[in-house]
Amino acid sequence: MFRRKAAAAVALALSAALLSSCWDKTELNELALVSMIGLDRDPESGIYTIRLQVINPTSGSTARGTPGGEQSPVYTYEANVRTLAEADLKFYHLIPRKLFLHHAKAVLISGRAARQGMRDFINFSELQPSARTSVPLFVVDGSIGEVMRTYTPLERTPAESLSSRIELLADYALQSGRDVEVRDVIERSERDEWIVLPMVAVTPKTGNLDSRDVDASIDANRNQLRLNGGAVIRNYRMVGRLDDNELVLYHLLNGDKGTFVRRVPFRNGHVTAVLLSRGTKRRLDWENGRPVVRIRLSLELSTLAMNEYHPRTLEDIRALEKAVSESITDELDAFLDKTRAKGWDLAGIRSLLGRKAPKLPNPDRAAADAKIRFEIKTLFTGMGNLSRLYEGSGGTS
């Protein structure tokens, strides 16, 4: 028995030499955690400007509460290079830690670089052994340098603030989608589809921007970042933009689900309707050899924000549902007329024809000639707690 135990112990000791260990480990305090990446390119010189926003691990309540401990939560580093391959070398002249890019929560590209084309940036990123494309991509409206030097309230880093706002605007305003990551741009561009990315802008600046007083300002509408419309992307290149109102119609058209608010003409006036999009269904028909795309939308209507009118009968509710359906139809028709006149296929008709009628001899021409018809069903689902609106006495005594 003793010999067997001794033999087993020897065998275990010998096999231990073959076990792997953390020979290539990197300590956290040896890494520069990149929170946000900014990409720019000068159209005249061709010089690339890369900006990295690196998290400061020593910032926080304890650091800010001690004398001399008022530190920035992030630091922004900048490198100007002729080729993207030179970027790491440039940054290591400034950064004393190993870059860890895969912690990034947002990638920003300047408007002028997006108009030149994003393919170079995306190809370089994808060639890296540990590339990560599951990160939202934003287009900057204005100076990307100024955006990368701007703090945001409430969230610890600007990248967290921007990524959080995408989700909120998708759920409560229908002004953003969830398919805005780098991989979405790659997949849809390779399928020759259109995509709209959120745009970032800097709000008006006040006071001394180098002063600590900026952090203590109560006015959060200034000295920070805001999402400002959408960049229309085709084949990795920005070809135009949509405003906030058009973003709602774009996401509604493409079946995104979420809540939004619309002011609707009704009985010689207007009412404010809270609407919830439940998605779309599409059907392809043919009339005299011409494709007809029928887009069916399902909306839920609430009067929670409607202080102009309060339905009291079933007839009132049906009239309100009809008015909402007709108003949204008119808005979508006008939006499509405007964008199709520019050659933008934001409704994805070309992609639909490719799936449903793959043998068409000229799918681009067929998509341009296609007739689009909307069938919108609006269902009244909520009216708040009041049985009627307060009217008062008109201020008379």
Q: How many CB atoms lie within 10 A of CB 280?
A: 18
Classify residue 96 as exposed, middle or buried by CB count within 10 Å of its CB (0-12, 13-18, 19+).
exposed
pLDDT of residue 16 exceeding 70: no
248 and 238: one domain?
no
In this structure, the chain runs to a length of: 397
Higher pLDDT, 72 or 107: 107
Mean pLDDT across the stretch 282-309? 90
What's residue 28's pLDDT?
Answer: 66
Least reliable range by pLDDT among 124-133, 147-156, 246-255: 124-133
Least confident of 224-238, 243-257, 306-320, 326-340: 306-320
Residue 389 has pLDDT above 90, yes or no: no
Q: Extract the tokens encoding 385.
A: 């707690």
Please name which of 313, 290, 309, 283 lies closest in space to residue 373, comparing C-alpha atoms.
283
Give the residue with greater pLDDT, 16 vs 374.
374
- The tokens describing 135, both together, are 């990160």
Q: Where are the beta strands (DSSP E) in the chain?
A: 31-41, 48-55, 74-81, 98-100, 106-110, 137-140, 194-202, 225-234, 237-242, 258-266, 269-287, 290-302, 371-382
Residue 14 pLDDT greater than 90, yes or no: no
Confidence at residue 62, expressed as pLDDT on a 0 to 100 scale: 43
Confidence of residue 26 (pLDDT cuts 50, 70, 90): low
Domain stops at, among 225, 242, 259 = 242
Phi then psi dihedrals of residue 76, to 5 deg: -105, 125
Question: Is the same domain home to 186 and 259?
Answer: no
Is residue 274 predicted with pLDDT exceeding 90?
Answer: yes
**Domain holding 352: CATH number?**
3.30.300.210
d(CA 287, CA 20): 68
Q: Give tens-digit pLDDT for 86-123.
A: 988 899 999 999 988 888 899 999 999 999 999 999 98
C-alpha–C-alpha distance, residues 268 and 397, integer Å: 31
Instruction: Evaluate whether 340 touches 367 at the Cβ level (below 8 Å).
Output: no
Asked if residue 140 belongs to a domain, the reply is: yes
Are 228 and 291 in the same domain? no
177 and 67 housed in the same domain: yes
Report if residue 395 sits inside a domain.
Answer: no
| Domains identified in the chain, total number | 2
Q: Which of 20-34, 36-50, 177-191 is the least confident region?
A: 20-34
Q: How much is the average pLDDT of 306-323?
A: 89
Among 23-27, 47-51, 246-250, the minimum mean pLDDT is found in 23-27
Mean pLDDT for 126-143 is: 86
Given this model, what pLDDT does residue 80 score? Answer: 95
Q: Band the pLDDT of 390: cuts 50, 70, 90.
A: low
The 3 state secondary structure assigned to 171-200 is HHCCCCCCCCEHHHHHHHHHCCCEEEEEEE
Cα–Cα distance, 166 to 230 (Å, whole number): 12
Residues 307 and 340 placed together within one structural domain of the fold: yes
Q: Check whether residue 90 and residue 151 sit in a common domain.
A: yes
Least confident of 2-16, 157-171, 177-191, 223-237: 2-16
Is 336 among the domain residues?
yes
Confidence of residue 264 (pLDDT cuts 50, 70, 90): very high
| 360: CB partners within 8 A, 6+ apart | 353, 366
Is 66 a residue whose pLDDT tops 60?
no
Q: Inform me whether the pLDDT recorded for 331 exceeds 50.
A: yes
Sign of CA dihedral 186, 188, 192, 196: negative
Average pLDDT across the chain, whole number? 86
Going by pLDDT thresholds of 50, 70 and 90, the confidence category of residue 61 is: very low
pLDDT band at 186 (very low <50, low <70, confident <90, very high): very high
Query: Does residue 122 contact residue 109 with C-beta atoms inside 8 Å?
Result: no
Element of type H or E holding 346: none
Q: Percent of the chain scored above 90 by pLDDT? A: 60
Q: Give the other-Cβ count within 10 Å of 135's Cβ.
A: 21
Domain extent, residue 117, equals 28-242
> Domain end: 242, 257, 278, which one?
242
Instruction: Let me know whether 195 and 264 are in one domain.
Output: no
pLDDT the model gives residue 337: 95
Is residue 329 within 8 Å of residue 309, measured between CB atoms? no
18 domain-assigned: no
Across 46-71, b (16+ Cβ under 10 Å) vs e yields eebbbbbbbbbeebeeeeeeeeeeee
Say whether both 163 and 293 belong to one domain: no
Lowest mean pLDDT among 33-42, 200-209, 352-361, 387-396: 387-396
How would residue 395 be classed by pLDDT, with cut points 50, 70 and 90?
low
| Judgement on whether residues 227 and 267 belong to the same structural domain of the protein | no
Tell me what pLDDT residue 221 has: 82
Distance CA 358, CA 363 (A): 8
Left, alpha or beta for 102 (phi > 0: left; psi -120 to 50: alpha)? alpha
Identify any residues that bridge with 339 across adjacent strands, giving them in sequence order.
Answer: none
The answer to whether residue 388 scores a pLDDT higher than 70 is no
Same domain, 197 and 268: no
264, 270 Cβ separation under 8 angstroms = yes
pLDDT greater than 80 at residue 263? yes
Residues 204 and 249 grouped into a single domain: no
363 in any annotated domain: yes
Same domain, yes or no: 137 and 182:
yes
Amino acid at 220: A
Indicate whether 179 belongs to any domain: yes
- Report helix, strand or coil for 6: helix
- Read off the pTM: 0.85
Query: How open is the CA angle 194-231-366, to the nearest 5 degrees?
Result: 25
CA distance 272 to 397: 31
Decide if 99 contacts 52 (C-beta within 8 A): yes
Tell me whether residue 371 is in a domain: yes
Domain-ending residue, one of 224, 242, 260: 242
In a domain, 17, yes or no: no
Phi, psi of 243 (to 5 degrees): -85, 180
Range scoring the smallest mean pLDDT among 150-159, 212-221, 314-323: 212-221
- What are the DSSP E strand ranges found in 116-193? 137-140
